[in-house]
């Protein structure tokens, strides 16, 4: 595993921001439209929380709260764990494991620049392993 910046360089940034004053319904509509499982919650340019599918189920649906009247500020996970572009991917995995989450906002100079998911990390690891295997096969086969 390399650095997060290398992983993110393989794709376009995936960051859709919401504010704490938006409703859960607005956030869920954005999540569905963009096919993402979590959204960074930003206020005045600063990350203040994250709203995930887990928050939706546990803090909204299970509590019987109305989606159109509940504000993200009431149900988001405040002060989320983040990653920096220069972090090792393995560190991101450890952070996710520690707080039992599947998404990390990537923050640089105080601004959210991307979102990292466990899926991103898994696919990157699988790609690295496939390349290593192909290299070993070429070496063993004498075409190195």
pLDDT of 71-115, one tens digit each? 999 999 999 999 999 999 889 989 999 999 999 999 999 899 999
Per-residue pLDDT tens over the stretch 19-37? 999 999 999 999 999 999 9
| Residue 13 confidence (pLDDT) | 76
User: What own/partner pairs with CB < 8 Å and gap ≥ 24 does 51-58 have?
Assistant: 51/18, 51/24, 51/27, 51/75, 51/76, 51/77, 52/77, 52/101, 52/102, 52/103, 54/101, 56/24, 56/28
In this structure, the number of other CB atoms found within 10 A of the CB of residue 107 comes to 18
CA distance 24 to 66: 8
Angle at which helices 89-99 and 118-140 pack, to 10 degrees? 140
Which domains, ranges and CATH numbers included, belong to the chain? 4-117 (3.10.580.10)
Tell me: pLDDT of 131 over 60.
yes
| Residue 14 confidence (pLDDT) | 75
For residues 119-140, average pLDDT: 69
Let me know how long the chain is: 144
């Amino acid at each position: 595993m390399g650095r997060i910046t290398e992983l993110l360089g393989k794709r376009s940034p995936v960051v859709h921001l919401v504010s704490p004053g938006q409703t859960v319904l607005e956030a869920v509509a954005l999540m569905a439209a963009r096919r993402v499982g979590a959204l960074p919650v930003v206020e005045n340019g600063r990350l203040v929380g994250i709203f995930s599918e887990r928050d939706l189920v546990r803090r909204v649906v299970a509590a019987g709260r109305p989606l159109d009247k509940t504000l993200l500020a009431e149900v988001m996970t405040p002060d989320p764990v983040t990653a920096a572009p220069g972090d090792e991917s393995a560190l991101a995995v450890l952070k996710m494991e520690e707080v039992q989450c599947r998404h990390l906002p990537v923050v640089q100079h105080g601004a959210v620049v991307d979102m990292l998911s466990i899926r991103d990390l898994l696919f990157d690891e699988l790609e690295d392993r496939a390349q290593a295997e192909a290299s070993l096969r070429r070496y063993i086969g004498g075409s190195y």
